[in-house]
A and B are shown apart, each in its own frame.
Chain A
Amino acid sequence: MVKRLSVVDVDRCVGCQACMFACARQLGHGGLDGACIHVRSAGGIRKGFVVIVCRACPDPPCARVCPTDALRPREERGVRLKADLCIGCGNCVQACPFGAVLWDREQNKPQICVYCGYCASYCPYEVIALEEVEPIRTTEEMPHAAP
């Protein structure tokens, strides 16, 4: 089994953004820079909130459009960033239909969720959770595995 971050019930979200601050705190600082999870209103607070997380896709579109293989499919699911290969083209941002590839403007590189679940431990209302899912593939089956 592998783990990914999952939005369990977005209707319980109160928009406190404690998850975003937690993610940034993991990097050793305060504020919001570097957060890989994003909470915004669904078109005004009266309509509730949208919680954007990396879904750890089995065949991640963000990796498919990376020209330098800096974003590589993780074994089983999701992606991993090899920052030294990234040229900051931003194709990955465009490719993700959820807008879950957030951008580090200082480094000019994507911010990629590592599925640590730290954010979920600060969600007071069980909106998000680290979830165990079936691995979609083995290393041999990976679409972009080296020949």
Chain B
Amino acid sequence: MLPHDPLCRVLYVDLARRRSWVEERTDLFAETLGGAGVGIRLLDEECPPGADPLGPENPIILTVGPLVGLFPVASKTVAMFKSPHTGNLGESHAGGRSAVALRMAGYGAAVIRGASPTPIYLVIEEGQVHFRDAAALWGMHSSYTAGSVLRKRESGSGMRSIMRIGRAGERLVSYACVITETYRHFGRLGFGAVWGSKRLKAIVVSGKRSLPVADRRAYRQTYDRIFQAATQSELMKKYHDLGTAMNVEPLNSIGGLPTRNLQSGQFEGAAAISGERLAEDYLGRRVACAHCPVACIHLAALRLPYPNDPYFYKTVMLGYDHEPIYATGSLLGLDDVPGMLQLMDEIEVQGLDVMSAGVALAWATEAQERGIITPQETDGLVLSFGQAQPYIEAVRRIVSQPTDFYRALAQGVEHAASLYGGVEFALAFGGNEMPGYHTGPACHVGYLTAARHSHLDSAGYSLDQQAVQTGADLIPKDVADALLAEERWRQVLTSLVICLFARSVYSPEVVLQALSSTGHNWSEDGLDKLGADILRRKYKFKQREGFSAAELRVPQRILETSAPAGPFDEAFIREAIARYETQVKSHHSGESKR
């Protein structure tokens, strides 16, 4: 690391005592790069075994990496915490301006300890941390408004990130998210509830500094190579044109789009909610994360009339992506696009994870259809696939929690099903709700085994789709090994906090070039070992907190609804999980060699 690189500076904040200080952790960053690697090390240091996820002992850890502020698409912040949703490892990534702002403020990581006795927000600047009263912001109806207020009140426009929670976080919904720059999220695993438990409403981070490079010429050459690839590759163009919503139609056409609580893999209304249709009818603006020329963020402009006030309209701008479309569209049988978008908007206003919220609503709908729950539980609502308005009402109740049922649903589908029944169609994996791919066994093995139970950890859907294309049979052992190799390499990318959409741009060779031009000496072998080591550490943490692969529940529904890569049974899944678990702990990373 170059002498004047501020990456190794870790900002510590104690919310209880309203103190902050900086520690230089050069070894930590030299050994594990940043992001996920530094995050899990800090979590090991900070989070005591058996910690209450909503107690003051659970830390908030935010980390960035060495390439942030230096190269395009190194644009993510990694959040590490103990998840109140799964009771285990919590890791969530967000873009926006969060990563650049934290790096430009002169930090590689922030560790936030304790809990504030009263609502508070933090302002982090170069060399200064301010503790500001947030009593007036607490309980505010909309997460959008909280952002607008802070935007006006604080300085640094264009150089800052405004991370905040909505009422869902304040009220400790276990899948509340943290919103940054209005349209990006630390979406999964309840990071927002951790903030809420600390009475931390928001963090504003800003800065504008320079970063040293080792070799100016090599730096610029590498920069240009990455920039060209990021702006001119076909895949990146697709992300720019249609965004992740480009997946909806192709996935549906092969029968892998979870529909009506995964009673089907095909949605007859898919064309209406496809990326193409949304772009043609609703796309109002495309925006980018800081230092990402791709601009995959797609905002729909939705013009809504006021029902009782003629010629009175409002125009809502809201972000859409594949996962929100799956969670509020096909999974709920909604092809009424304005209705679907209003549901997404309400989820945003409340500050919930859209994926978990959609799965919770889908389970509740099927549970109500089967008579497991009645309108008494739902506070009079009749949930029905294809009907947006009751879902919008239900989202508000998940946050306001007027009945025991909504209190249960506010803790996720696994918890609600454990109390009310219907566990066989509760789409949760390791306690986390399902992503929008039902492509075959590999995606599900991925959700179960991956450290975050996320489709982004190991991309099982991609293995399934390859099998569909080639007609090859999937074998448990091969699936497990391929997922593990992918997840190990992704530890490296997420330690560099490179957006995973740019994974094809950042090949190992390009990563090494970028690192060496900015003063970090690594080898390909070193990166491989690091990836395996980070994943092993995550598993160690998970096991310490009670994770057991053998005890994972396999939702029966995924075995019943046919998938593009062909039928598979629980034995397949179990065999793959067992193989994965043995291999992840292995100290020989040879098999992960790329």
Contact = CB atoms under 8 A, between A and B. Distances in A.
Contacts of A29: 210-213
Given A29-B213, A32-B69, A39 B285 contact: no
B208 A30 contact: no
Contact of B295 (A14, A30, A32): A14
A130 B591 CA distance: 52
Interface in A6-51: 14-18, 21, 24-25, 27-35, 38-41, 43-46, 48
Given A31-B211, A43-B151, A17 B295 contact: no
Given A14-B295, A38-B158, A28 B216 contact: yes
B44 interface: no
A46 B227 contact: no
Contacts, number: 93
A124 interface: yes
Contact of A16 (B69, B183, B290): B290
A44 B180 CA distance: 11
A41 B150 CA distance: 14
Interface residues on A, range: 20 to 34
A18 B69 contact: no
Contacts of B231: 124
Contact of B158 (A16, A30, A41, A44): A41
B518 interface: yes
Interface in B59-83: 69-70, 72
A30 B219 contact: yes
Contacts of A40: 157-159
Interface in B100-116: 100, 103-104
Given A38-B158, A45-B287, A30 B151 contact: no
B518 A30 contact: yes
A28 B209 CA distance: 13
Given A25-B220, A40-B158, A32 B208 contact: yes
Interface of A: 14-18, 21, 24-25, 27-35, 38-41, 43-46, 48, 122, 124-125
A46 B317 contact: yes
Interface of B: 69-70, 72, 100, 103-104, 147-148, 151, 157-159, 181-183, 208-213, 216, 219-220, 223, 227, 231, 285-295, 299, 317, 518
Nearest to B231: A124
Contacts of A16: 288-295
B514 to A, nearest CB: 11
Contacts of A122: 227, 293
A124 B231 CA distance: 7
Nearest to A49: B287
Nearest to B182: A45
B292 to A, nearest CB: 6
Q: In the complex, which of the residues A16, A24, A41 has the most CB atoms of chain B within 10 Å of its own CB atom? A: A16
B104 A31 contact: yes
Contact of A30 (B70, B183, B293): B70
B585 to A, nearest CB: 38
Given A31-B210, A40-B157, 15 more contacts: A16-B288, A16-B290, A16-B291, A16-B292, A16-B294, A24-B210, A30-B212, A30-B213, A31-B69, A31-B103, A34-B210, A44-B148, A45-B183, A46-B299, A124-B293
Nearest to B318: A46
16 contacts: A14-B293, A16-B290, A16-B291, A16-B295, A25-B220, A29-B212, A30-B70, A30-B213, A31-B103, A32-B208, A32-B210, A35-B208, A38-B158, A41-B158, A44-B148, A45-B182
Contacts of B286: 14
A45 B216 contact: no
A43 B147 CA distance: 11
Contacts of B219: 25, 30
Contact of A18 (B151, B181, B216, B227): B227
Contacts of A17: 100, 158, 290-291
Contacts of A32: 69, 100, 104, 159, 208-210
Nearest to B219: A30
Contacts of B211: 29-31
Nearest to A47: B317
Contacts of B291: 16-18, 21
Q: In the complex, which of the residues B151, B210, B299, B317 has the most CB atoms of chain A within 10 Å of its own CB atom? A: B210
Nearest to B230: A124
Nearest to B69: A31
A44 B151 contact: yes
Nearest to A11: B285
Nearest to A21: B291
A123 to B, nearest CB: 9
A15 B287 contact: yes
A28 B292 CA distance: 20
Contacts of A14: 286-288, 293, 295
Given A14-B287, A45-B182, A46-B317, A39 B299 contact: no
Nearest to B156: A40
A13 to B, nearest CB: 9
A30 B210 contact: yes
